[in-house]
Amino acid sequence: MRESGDLLQQWVVEAIRASGGSASVVDVAKRVWNAHEQDIRSRGDLLFTWQYDMRWAAHALRRKGVVKPAQQSPRGIWEVV
C-alpha cells in the first residue's frame, strides 16, 4: 500500500492543482479516475479501494502541510497550501 499511497497523494495534488488549487472531493475523484483509470485498474485491489485510499492520501497530505486542514476549508473541499 505504501507505493499506492504515495502515488495517490501525487494524483490528489495534481487533481486539486488542475482544478485551480481547490476542488470538491467528488471533483478530485473524477479527475483522478479520468487521468489514471488504467493505472488504478492495473494495480489489483486498488480498483476496489482507491476512493477510500484517496481520502487517506488527502489526510496524509494535510499532516504534511500540502493540503489545508479541514477546519480551514469549506466542508467537502480540498485545497492545496
Ordered structural domains, the chain, with CATH: 2-79 (1.10.10)
E-assigned strands of the chain? Answer: 22-24, 77-79
Write down the pTM of the prediction: 0.92
> How much of the chain exceeds pLDDT 90, in percent?
94
Q: Tell me the C-alpha distance between 13 and 44, whole Å.
A: 23
Checking if the pLDDT of 1 tops 90, the result is no
In this structure, are residues 23 and 31 in contact, taking their beta carbons and an 8 Å threshold? yes
Checking if the pLDDT of 15 tops 80, the result is yes
